[in-house]
Structures are given as C-alpha cells and as structure tokens.
Amino acid sequence: MVRDLILSLKISLFTIFVTGIIYPLFIMGAAYTFFYKKATGSLVLDEHNNIIGSELIGQNFKNPSYFFSRPSDAGNGYDGTRSGGSNFAPTSEKLLEKIHERIETLKPLNTAPIPIDLVTSSASGLDPHISLQAAYWQAPKIAMQREVSLKRIITIIDDQIHGFSFYGLGIPYLNVLKLNLTLDQFFGSPTEDK
C-alpha cells in the first residue's frame, strides 16, 4: 500500500510538472515567437512609443471630434479587470430603461435611426469595434466637428473596414481606436482631451 501511495504521488507530481509548468511555458513561448503582437496585448503606440491603448479593448472617447465605441457595462466603463455585460435579459425593464436613456442621449446627434450597437453593450463590455452602420451614423457629427467634408470622413471609414475573412464571409466592422487615430493623422488632434 505504501508503494502504491508513493507511485501515485510520483505520477501526480509528474503530471503537475508537465501540465502546470512545461506545457504553459511551451505555449507562452510559441505565442511570443509566432504571434508576438497579439501575445503582448496588441498595444497601439504613438510616434514617441507611448502606449495609447490596445486594439482589443474599447475606450471611452468623449470628445465629439472622435467616433465613440459601444456602451460598456464593465466596471465604470471599459474596465479590463471587470469585464462583463449587464446580464439583463432581453425582456428586462432595466435593460429597456438603459437603452431608452442612451437613445435620448444620442437623438440630438443625428435624426437617422440609431444602430443597435450604439445603444447596447457587448457581452464583455470591452468591445473595441463598431458596425459600419454605427460609423456612418456618426460620420456627419465628425465631419462637422472637424470642419471637413462628409465625403472625406466616409472615405476614411471605407478604408478602415475589417471583418471579411475566409472567402468573404464575416460581418464588416471598424476598430474605433484605429479609426480615431486615422482621423488625427489626416486632420490633426483636436484641442480637447478625448
């Protein structure tokens, strides 16, 4: 019986060593070797190598000269340590109240119907993307704030489209941080903070 106990202990320690140390180190090394940018958080840097944000986590752009992301229910908004949605059911009164509040906030910006992703948060609350409809809906406001033609803003949106993969399948989307950085690249940074 003691021999069986020692054998079980050896097997357990070996399994812990292989699956708890060797395998994770191998996967981490492979990720850093073949997918370095993604493994380090897909960070976006400015011209001075300062971190601006991540391609994978949304940000709260408040300046009207920028496109804004989907609403966030993660912590106080876009909190990577508190990822998660509101978890309200589609029939929840609280969810409907939130959506109506967001609609009322957005109504003065554009009279067109508001795209659903501008009034509902994603499951993680950290989604850095918006739909094409959401970008086009915001385009007149951006053009007016930046004092450029709507056609130029639409061209920038069209140049930033992502999402088509595997023989054209997928839903097109835009990364809000990259879209706003492109605006700054073409038209300069607005005077107010984002």
Q: Residue 193, Cα to own-chain centre: how many angstroms?
A: 20
Count the residues in the chain. Answer: 194
User: What tokens appear for 69 in the block?
Assistant: 């992301």
47-51, 95-99, 154-158, 161-165, range with greatest mean pLDDT? 154-158
Half-sphere exposure of 142 (CA within 13 A, CB side): 29
Is the residue at 30 inside a domain?
yes
51 and 6 in a common domain: no
Mean pLDDT of 140-160: 95
Which residues lie across from 53 on neighbouring strands?
Answer: 44
For residues 32 and 122, membership in a common domain is answered with no
- pLDDT tens per residue across span 119-142: 998 888 888 999 999 999 999 999
Residue 118 lies in a domain: yes
Mean local confidence (pLDDT), 180-192: 86
What's the domain range around 7? Answer: 1-40
79 and 13, same structural domain? Answer: no
Number of domains, the chain: 2
The residues near 113 (Cβ < 8 Å, ≥ 6 apart) are none
Distance, CA of 118 to CA of 69 (rounded, Å): 7
Model confidence, pTM: 0.78
Do 26 and 54 have their domain in common?
no
